[in-house]
Structures are given as structure tokens and as C-alpha cells.
Amino acid sequence: MDMKSLYLLIALSPLAGSLIAGLFGWAIGRRAAHVVTILGVAVSAALSLKVLHGFLTGEASVFNEAVYTWLTVGGMEFSVGFLVDTLTAMMMVVVSFVSLMVHIYTIGYMQEDPGYQRFFSYISLFTFSMLMLVMSNNFIQLFFGWEAVGLVSYLLIGFWFKRPTAIFANLKAFLVNRVGDFGFLLGIGLVLAHFGGSLNYSDVFAAAPGLANATIAIFPGVEWSLMTVTCILLFVGAMGKSAQFPLHVWLPDSMEGPTPISALIHAATMVTAGLFMVSRMSPLFELSDTALNFIMVVGSITALFMGFLGIIQNDIKRVVAYSTLSQLGYMTVALGASAYSIAMFHVMTHAFFKALLFLAAGSVIIGMHHDQDMRNMGGLRKYMPITWITSLLGSLALIGTPFFSGFYSKDSIIEAVHASNLAASGFAYFAVVAGVFVTAFYSFRMYFLVFHGKERWMENHGSHHEHHGDHDDEEPSGDHHHGLGPNDKPHESPWVVTLPLVVLAIPSVMIGYFAIEPLLYGDFFKGVIVVNSEAHPAMAELAHEFHGAAAMGVHALQTMVFWLAVAGVALAWFFYMKAPHIPAAIKQRFAVIDRVLENKYYMDDLYFNLFAKGSRALGTFFWKVGDMLLIDGLVVNGSAKLVGFFSGVVRKLQTGFIYSYATTMIVGVLALMTLWFAQLIF
């Protein structure tokens, strides 16, 4: 099999599964639907692994070819093409592998759902779209994949479309993403206009260095650096998709979707699309310090402040969601520090351990009969041993325990920020270091609340109906939400649920140790990710100080970062195991801070009041004046009347009598004759 058909097979086999499950799901039944989709994704995963293996052993070479020309418009070619290099190969493995795990997990999680086949069809479609996105060799296809994953995400957040909160959440995700996409599209437009008229990556990157000092005047008289404007616009797209402050508001609400989706789309893959895009565009971003500073600031705000929100959540999925936001912030900071390879490294490790945490949370939710409130849990370790162990491993990876995968990527980020010489790196360094403590605290708060302590589901039943937070914490769907009765016991989930947990736990623990050296300091990303090491020496410095993965782990024991994490865990243990009255007391004492956090820094209210209500008011105005008066009154009704009048006239001519038809024909000839021989006749 040549490479082209191999890549086509990787991308298309999930699509085939999706189509079969989606179009013929009603005919083939549940079992066949999941078999066919899993088969499709498994093919992708296996072949992706093969591709990655090829790159690791040095057998494979970069593949950059148009596969199919979709349309040619005035010299512009819209083609479907694949660019497969090490970066792509890594993303392909992550996407298809996590997706495969989620597919298997879904069999157990969605067992009773009436939309079973639809769900499988969607997630396979997502896998296809995401693969198209990462494998693209041009901006158009990138944008197609970008929108396609957005669409599937929209569909899946609103999967339980009978729940108003789910509909609200998916609308929110959709709208917020539009803001990002708007920037992204503008960025692509600038690329098309100024980078040699091609949308192929290779052409654009080749044109970029020559444009490093080019300027454009968006407002007359004000010259801006072309590169900065382009990069920031592109990054705005990434902010939407990767949920960076201030476009992060949709991600927590997206937890309305089924948990496998939260794991696959809103933790492991789709939200990293923005980061992937920035890494892919590294030849552009390297040319603009301003853009990199901007990225770093946005990332560090997200990393720290979203972590704070994680502390006060009581919904198990929301804790994981905020932790995702915070981790995405970390990755963004790494991008800002020109440490693209570290960002991608963290994307990979995070994909594994965050998918693990989400799926574990889902397993807990199954065990608790779809009760998501942590205050009703506790002591679950006895009842759900596999979930407990895997969760613990995932949490340890998340907080950066030495030798765990998360440690290598996260610590590298912190080091890279430390080494960065950009203006924003000081603030960013503070944010990421403080973030370590916060992360450790909320992760283990969740861990202790869920798996240790008293078994609270017996005593406190019913409180989850009044737990804090806004409307969309609730799960009003009757068939899904019951929770445990006082006499029920949680139980371990079926093997289809626990198997993915175990399988995901392995890379969560180990992959960092093995991958750090080739990925960050070897030449895995050589020629793919471009870093201008003179202007941005962070990576070079890190490479200088790196003495192997084991040494890094040992060395970490004597750093502040490690002890901050330990302090976070210890504090969590003290607060939630030893002295549970303290958090309550703190909450009362610092009611103001608590309120700010509970209202998520009032971001939602701000958006809702300013944009939603404001645009509604604006819309009402335009509707009254523009639509009702001008368009409806004059244009639509007016032209409709005109059209009606006109067709009335024509109908009158169309009498049905042959002689009038013949006359019309003769008059037609006469008219043509008169027109063409005007000067002869007159």
C-alpha cells in the first residue's frame, strides 16, 4: 500500500463507520453500530501507530501532497491534501487512540441511551474531522476540519437535546466559537491576501520570512506589522477552540454532553486543535514577538485563574473541566515561550491522563447512578477499586509527580517559561508556578472527596438538588438522573468501561519518561517546528540543562515546584480529610472571594448582559427599522408585489391560444430583425 492510500484509509475509515452507523443505524442495530465504528477507528489507530513507528525508526519521510482537487476557481485551487510529518503523526496517534478508548468506553456508558447509534456515528464523525484537521496541508482543509469538529462538538453537547440546559450549553459553545472563528477566518484571509496567494502551508511558510517586516494599514495612517496582525488573528481562532481566556466560557458548560464526549472532545483532542494549529504555524509565530507575548499572557491568565475555579466546584465533571482549562493555559504559555514541542508534548500527555480522569469520573458517575455531586460521594475506593487506582494515577500525573508523564511535560513548561526572555515571561512564570499548587489542591480535593472519607451518599441524599452553581449544573432529564438511594451501593463499572481506564493509565504514567528525550531534545520535530533560537533561546537553554529523564525526575525533588505540589496535596488532605469544618469557615470568612469564584469572575454575566442582551437590543432595533420597515416593507413586499404584477402580465400574454403564441414568435423575430438591421431600415 502506498502512503497516499494509507493516509486516505486512516482518515476515511472512521467516516465509513460513522456513515454506516448514522444512516443505517436503525437497520443494523446497536451491536453492529458499535462494532462497525470501533472497527473503523481501530483501523485508524493501528495504521496511525504504524505511521508513527515509521517516523520513529526513520523509515518514513514527510508526505506532502494534494490528494484530490475539489474545485478550481479563478486560479485558486481548493484541494484536499495531506501533510504528514512527525507532528501530524503524533497527533494522529493521540486522536485515534483516545478515540478508540472512548468508543469502547461508550458501549458501557451509553448502554441505556436511545440515541446509541447516533452517538457512535457522531464520535466517529468527530474522529474523521479531527484527523482531517491535523493531516491537512492547507488552510482551507484546516478550516473545514476546524468547523467540522466544532459542528460535531455542538451536536454532542446538545446530544440530550430534550434538556434545556444542554441546548443552552451547545448554543453557547457555538456562539463563542463563532467569535474565535471570525478571527481565524480573518487571519486566513490575510494569509491568502499577503502570502503569495496560496493557502498551502509550504507556500505560506516559504513566503513568511520575506514578510517579517511588512506592514499593513488597517486604519488609514496606522501601520501595523502584518505578521503580528495575522498571528494574533489566527490565535484568536485558537482561543475560541482551545477555550482560552476570555473565550473559555463555553467549555465548562459543555459538560452537559455525555461524559465520553467530555473526555474525547473537550479534554483530549478538539480543544487542543488550537494549540496544534499554533505549533503548525510556528514559522509564522516565530516572526512576531508581540504575538508571542500576547499568547503568553492569555495562557497564563487561563492557567492560574481557571485553576482557582476548580477549587470550589462540587460537580465532579466540572472540576475536571476547569482543570482542563487550566492545563490548556499551561500549553498556551508554552507556545508563547516558543516551546512548541513542549506544548505538543503536554498536549499528548494531557490527552492521556485527562481522558483517563474524565472516563474515571464517568465511571464514578455510572457507579453513583448518574449523580455528579461530589458531596454525595466518599469512600468509593472500596466499591470501585479499578476506578480508584486509575484515578489516583491520573491525578498524580496531573499534578506533576516526578516520573509520571504529566511531570515531564509540565515541568518542562515551567522551565521553558523561566528561560524565556519575553516581556511577559515574568508574569507567566509566577502564574504557572502558583498554578502547580492550585492544581495539586483541587485535584486531590476531588480525589479525597470521591474516594476517601465517609460514605455520604446514604446520609445526605437529595442535597445535590440544591447544590450551588448556576442552572446548568442540574440534570433534569428524568431517565438519567436518579442518584443512589440510601440503601444502594455503588458498584464497579463493566469491563468495557474499566478496560479503557486501565489502557489509558499506562501511557498516563509512563509515556513522559520515554518520550521526553526524543520529543523535546532529539530531532523528532526537526524541520517541522521552527524556533528562532537566537531570538527565543528558551528551548536551547533547556536542552543544555537536560541530562536525561531519570536525572530530571531526581532533580525535581529538590525544586520549589515539587514541594508546592506536595503542599497542595497536603492541604487538600488536611481540609477535606482531617478538618472538614475549615473550608466551610473559610468560605464564610471570605464570602466575597467565594462569590466571585462561584460566579466565575462574572464572565458569564458580563457576556450575557453586554453581548447577548446588547445585541438583542440592537437586533430589535434593526428588526423594527431595517427589517420591518425597509426590507419587509419596501424590498421584500415591494419586490414581491413587483414580481406578482409582472407574472400577472406574463400570464395574461400566455392566453392558451395558438394565434397569440404565433404572434409572439413573429414579433420576436421582428424585434431581432429590427435591432440588427436598424440602420438599413431607418
Partner 1 sequence: MNWADLNLMPAAPELFLFSAVSVLLLLDLFVSDAKRGITYVLSLAILAVAAVLQLAVAEPYAIHTFSNTFVSDPLSTLVKLAMYATTFAVLVYSRQYCADRGIFKGEYFTLSLFALAGMNIMVSASHFLSLYMGLELLSLCLYALIALQRDSVPATESAMKYFVLGALASGLLLYGMSMVYGATGSLELAAVAKSIGAGSANQVLLVFGLVFIVAGLAFKLGAVPFHMWVPDVYQGSPTAVALMIGAAPKLAAFVFVLRFLVQGLGPLVADWQGMLAIVAVLSMAIGNITAIAQTNIKRMLAYSTISHMGFLLLGLIAGNADGYSAALFYTVVYVLMSLVGFGILLALSRAGFDCETLDDLKGLNQRNSWYALLMLLAMFSMAGIPPLLGFFAKFAVIMSVVNIGLVWLAVFAVVMSLIGAFYYLRVVKCIYFDDAVDTAPIVVRGDMKLLLSVNAVALLVLGAVPERLVALCVEAMKQSLTVL
Partner 2 sequence: MSFQTVVFYVLSAILIFASFRVITAKNPVHAALYLVLAFFTSAGHWLLLQAEFLAIALVLVYVGAVMVLFLFVVMMLDINFEKLREGFWRHFPLAGTVGLIMVAEMALILMSPEASLDQFKAAAPLAADASNVKELGRQIYTTYLLPFELAAFVLLVAIIAAIGLTQRQRKDTKFIDPAVQVKVRRDDRVRIVKMDAEKRAVADTDVVSEEQQA
Contacts to partner 1 by CB under 8 A: 68-72, 74, 643-644, 646-648, 650-651, 654, 656, 658, 660-662, 664-665, 667-669, 671-673, 675-677, 680
Q: Provide the 3-class DSSP secondary structure of residue 69.
A: strand
**Using CB distances below 5 to 8 A depending on partner kind, what does residue 681 bind out of partner 2, partner 1, none?**
partner 2
* Contact in structure between 139 and 199 (CB atoms under 8 Å): yes
Q: Provide the 3-class DSSP secondary structure of residue 200.
A: strand
Q: How far is the CB of 652 from partner 2 (least distance, A)?
A: 15
**Using CB distances below 5 to 8 A depending on partner kind, what does residue 668 bind out of partner 2, partner 1, none?**
partner 1
* Contact in structure between 335 and 285 (CB atoms under 8 Å): yes
* CB closer to partner 2, 558 vs 679: 679
Find the binding residues for partner 2 in span 45-84 (CB under 8 A): none
Q: How far is CA 81 from CA 89, 138, 423, in A?
A: 15, 7, 38
**Using CB distances below 5 to 8 A depending on partner kind, what does residue 646 bind out of partner 2, partner 1, none?**
partner 1
Find the binding residues for partner 2 in span 641-680 (CB under 8 A): 659, 663, 666-667, 669-670, 673-674, 677, 680
Q: How far is the CB of 670 from partner 2 (least distance, A)?
A: 6
* CB closer to partner 2, 68 vs 682: 682
* CB closer to partner 1, 582 vs 670: 670
**Using CB distances below 5 to 8 A depending on partner kind, what does residue 644 bind out of partner 1, partner 2, none?**
partner 1
Other Cβ atoms closer than 10 A to 284: 26
- Is residue 420 classed exposed, middle or buried when 0-12, 13-18 and 19+ CB atoms within 10 A define those classes? buried
Other Cβ atoms closer than 10 A to 448: 21
Q: CA-CA distance, 659 to 461, in Å (whole number)?
A: 88
**Using CB distances below 5 to 8 A depending on partner kind, what does residue 70 bind out of partner 2, partner 1, none?**
partner 1
Q: CA-CA distance, 562 to 35, in Å (whole number)?
A: 44
Q: How far is CA 80 from CA 45, 51, 72, 140, in A?
A: 21, 20, 12, 8
**Using CB distances below 5 to 8 A depending on partner kind, what does residue 651 bind out of partner 1, partner 2, none?**
partner 1
Q: How far is the CB of 673 from partner 1 (least distance, A)?
A: 5
DSSP at 61: -
* CB closer to partner 2, 612 vs 673: 673
Whole-angstrom distance between the N-terminal and C-terminal Cα of the chain?
A: 76
Q: How far is the CB of 664 from partner 2 (least distance, A)?
A: 10
* Contact in structure between 262 and 251 (CB atoms under 8 Å): no
Cβ-Cβ contacts under 8 Å for 274 (sequence gap 6 or more):
180, 235, 237, 238, 239, 240, 241, 242, 244
Q: How far is the CB of 682 from partner 2 (least distance, A)?
A: 9
**Using CB distances below 5 to 8 A depending on partner kind, what does residue 625 bind out of partner 1, partner 2, none?**
none
**Using CB distances below 5 to 8 A depending on partner kind, what does residue 1 bind out of partner 2, partner 1, none?**
none
State the number of binding residues for partner 2 (CB under 8 A): 11
* CB closer to partner 1, 477 vs 647: 647
Q: Which three cell numbers stand for residue 636?
A: 421584500
Q: How far is the CB of 659 from partner 2 (least distance, A)?
A: 6
* CB closer to partner 2, 591 vs 669: 669
Q: How far is the CB of 639 from partner 2 (least distance, A)?
A: 32
Q: Among candidates 283, 295, 537, which has minimal Cα distance to 421?
A: 537
Q: CA-CA distance, 349 to 510, in Å (whole number)?
A: 9
Q: How far is the CB of 74 from partner 1 (least distance, A)?
A: 8
Q: How far is the CB of 681 from partner 2 (least distance, A)?
A: 5
**Using CB distances below 5 to 8 A depending on partner kind, what does residue 661 bind out of partner 1, partner 2, none?**
partner 1
Q: Which three cell numbers stand for residue 256?
A: 452537559
**Using CB distances below 5 to 8 A depending on partner kind, what does residue 527 bind out of partner 1, partner 2, none?**
none
Q: CA-CA distance, 320 to 307, in Å (whole number)?
A: 10
* CB closer to partner 1, 69 vs 463: 69
* CB closer to partner 1, 111 vs 664: 664
**Using CB distances below 5 to 8 A depending on partner kind, what does residue 593 bind out of partner 1, partner 2, none?**
none
Q: How far is the CB of 20 from partner 1 (least distance, A)?
A: 16
Q: Which three cell numbers stand for residue 557?
A: 525533588
Other Cβ atoms closer than 10 A to 638: 13
Q: How far is the CB of 12 from partner 1 (least distance, A)?
A: 13
* CB closer to partner 2, 582 vs 673: 673
Q: How far is the CB of 115 from partner 1 (least distance, A)?
A: 19
Q: Which three cell numbers stand for residue 375?
A: 458531596
Other Cβ atoms closer than 10 A to 681: 8
Q: How far is the CB of 661 from partner 2 (least distance, A)?
A: 12
Please report how the helices 226-241 and 289-312 are oriented relative to each other, as an axis angle in degrees rounded to 10.
20
* CB closer to partner 1, 611 vs 645: 645
Q: Alpha-carbon dihedral of residues 88, 512, 261, 367, nearest 10 degrees?
A: 160
H-assigned helices in 536-656: 538-545, 549-556, 560-573, 581-589, 591-598, 603-606, 614-622, 637-653
Cα–Cα–Cα angle for 426, 431, 434, nearest 5°? 125
**Using CB distances below 5 to 8 A depending on partner kind, what does residue 675 bind out of partner 1, partner 2, none?**
partner 1
- Is residue 523 classed exposed, middle or buried when 0-12, 13-18 and 19+ CB atoms within 10 A define those classes? exposed
Q: How far is the CB of 651 from partner 2 (least distance, A)?
A: 19
* CB closer to partner 2, 73 vs 680: 680
Q: CA-CA distance, 45 to 9, in Å (whole number)?
A: 11
**Using CB distances below 5 to 8 A depending on partner kind, what does residue 664 bind out of partner 1, partner 2, none?**
partner 1
* CB closer to partner 1, 61 vs 654: 654
Q: x/- contact string, 602-641, with partner 2 (CB under 8 A)?
A: ----------------------------------------
Q: CA-CA distance, 359 to 259, in Å (whole number)?
A: 7
* CB closer to partner 1, 557 vs 643: 643
Interface with partner 2 (CB under 8 A): 659, 663, 666-667, 669-670, 673-674, 677, 680-681
